[in-house]
Amino acid sequence: MSDQAVARLAGINVGAPARPLPSADFGLIGLAVMGQNLILNVADHGFTVCAYNRTTSKVDRFLDNEAKGKSIVGAHSVEEFCAKLKRPRRIMLLVMAGKPVDDFIESLLPHLEQGDIIIDGGNSHFPDSNRRTKYLKEKGIRFVGSGVSGGEEGARYGPSLMPGGNEEAWPHIKDIFQSIAAKSDGEACCDWVGDEGAGHFVKMVHNGIEYGDMQLICEAYDIMKRGLGMPVKEIADVFAKWNKGVLDSFLIEITRDVLYFNDNDGTPLVEKILDKAGQKGTGKWTAINALDLGMPVTLIGEAVFARCLSAIKDERIRASSLLDGPTPEFTGDKQAFIDDLEQALYASKIISYAQGFMLIQEAAREYKWKLNKPSIALMWRGGCIIRSVFLKDITNAYRSNPDLENLLFDDFFKAAIKKAQQGWRNVVSKGALWGIPTPAFSTALSFYDGYRTRDLPANLLQAQRDYFGAHTFRIKPECANENYPEGKDIHVNWTGRGGDVSASTYVV
């Protein structure tokens, strides 16, 4: 009997090319800059990585250049890619959110086995991750939706990673994820977030807070520029000083660098940039979700609207010549006012993060997720865009009391707000008097004042709703009686001409 016949009897397809032996610990699909940098990061930490891209010429180019000499292999088809991965396969997608993620999942499925893991590291909307977790669990595949923050540099040298989904996957990816993540005080800025789309939800809130932080910084810049009449170099010096104190953060640091940067003619480049802000939608997602869940995440909402207002530049140009307003004129101690501005920025940031965690807590209740609040704060301490020393205090607050109802109830932040309050109010009032818009500063202060108010004027609002629409109201417990019982939906015939039938029940 020939050797070929023996091979066929043994079940070996002699004519087929040899199937590669599994050699890679981790596989990544998507060789844009983020994907390439993350692969290099994983390889630097002792893991062998398999790289694949739909345009296979990118694989060859990557292997011949940036990946040369590193523990990185390539694949030219999905089948070859899966064959090169050790089991359980750990596959990360860094592709455009939406349909491309679903398309790649479907192309992978025929080549996967029970227990394999697919990780979506793009900016996917969390409902998509909810759906994919359930869909793949039915097929025996463990899905992880992971937020990845830190940009190109973070991907290369240490991002913030926010994984959620099928928790059975976590023990299998923990070693890689915590090895490549940024470190803060020796702790990895990565931990398991929660179920289904929780990882992408937390990343969405992260991005919303990022919108708020950036808007607050822009308002501080505008107040110094137009309110105090300071040149850009002097404003940059202020941000440099702030970056050594309570505001020490990545965004303050890059603001300093941007303001110091001059064009070839020696003038600040920032002053030549068109004031029309772009956005990719994650801040809007956060604001919409806050409305869906009934959470007053006002600062992120105002930050999104501020970008929308900036976008109607032509209309604003026309308005600037038609509509009157005050001309800023500052008198007094400039340094004292700058100190107030620092405190206003700090207090407003505290409000933004408090609102963000309120939304996260409500999402956990609504979607029945188990979320790890101390770990979420830790994940944001390094590697990500909103990283700051301030997040260490948030981590400590939630570690001291994991059931903390609101960040503002923590002793540290209560004291910080108390110290900042006078300067905060001074800045917001000056902005109004000068005609300089401060939507983020103002809404932060309004939220704080509303949150600390025992009795808001919503009692009148409820009466109005019942008057015109019979929408009912509830009586205060201390005012309850036989005619107005506590805890009941009540409708009153306010005019004597209406009926006694209510339109809908009372909703808080």
Residue 199 located in a structural domain:
no
399, 489: one domain: no
503, 488: one domain: yes
Q: Which H helix or E strand runs over 92?
A: strand 90-93
Assigned token pair, 486 = 């506590």
**Where is the domain boundary, 136, 157, 192?**
192
DSSP, collapsed to helix, strand or coil, labels residue 183 as strand
Q: How many domains does the chain have?
A: 3
Residue 8 located in a structural domain:
no
DSSP-derived secondary structure for 136-169? HHHTT-EEEEEEEESHHHHHHH--EEEEEE-GGG
Residue 58 located in a structural domain:
yes
213, 185: one domain: no
132, 219: one domain: no
Nearest to 93 by CA among 162, 158, 28: 28
423, 465: one domain: no
Angle subtended at Cα 337 by Cα 332 and Cα 339, rounded to the nearest 5 degrees: 145
Assigned token pair, 274 = 């068109």
Give pLDDT, residue 461. Answer: 95
Residue 169 located in a structural domain:
yes
CB 377 within 8 A of CB 159: no
Residue 293 located in a structural domain:
yes
Given 80, 167, 210, 302, which residue is catalytic?
210
Rounded distance, CA 412 to CA 128, Å? 37
Give pLDDT, residue 391. Answer: 87
**Where is the domain boundary, 192, 224, 239?**
192
Residues at the annotated binding site for substrate? 123, 149-151, 206-207, 211, 280, 307, 465, 471
pTM of structure: 0.88
DSSP, collapsed to helix, strand or coil, labels residue 119 as strand
Residue 198 located in a structural domain:
no
**What residue ranges in 170-322 does DSSP mark as E strands?**
183-184, 187-188, 194-195
Residue 203 catalytic?
A: yes
Residue 139 catalytic?
A: no
158, 239: one domain: no
Rounded distance, CA 2 to CA 14, Å? 12
Residues at the annotated binding site for NADP(+)? 30-35, 53-55, 95-97, 123
479 CB-contact burial (10 Å; exposed 0-12 / middle 13-18 / buried 19+): exposed
Residues at the annotated binding site? 30-35, 53-55, 95-97, 123, 149-151, 206-207, 211, 280, 307, 465, 471
155, 272: one domain: no
CATH number at residue 135: 3.40.50.720
220, 164: one domain: no
Rounded distance, CA 418 to CA 422, Å? 8
431, 328: one domain: yes
Residue positions counted in the chain: 508
Give pLDDT, residue 500. Answer: 64
373, 287: one domain: yes
Residue 153 located in a structural domain:
yes
Give pLDDT, residue 1. Answer: 46
Report CA-CA distances (Å) from 85 to 48, 74, 112, 152.
Answer: 9, 11, 10, 25
CATH number at residue 387: 1.10.1040.10
Nearest to 198 by CA among 143, 116, 141: 143
In the chain (508 residues long), the average pLDDT of successive 10-residue segments reads 41 47 92 96 97 96 96 97 97 95 97 97 94 97 95 92 96 97 91 94 93 97 98 98 94 97 96 89 90 96 96 96 95 96 97 95 92 82 82 90 93 96 98 98 98 96 93 95 94 79 56
Given 84, 203, 284, 430, which residue is catalytic?
203
> What residues make up the domain containing 478?
458-507
274, 379: one domain: yes
CB 355 within 8 A of CB 413: no
182, 119: one domain: yes
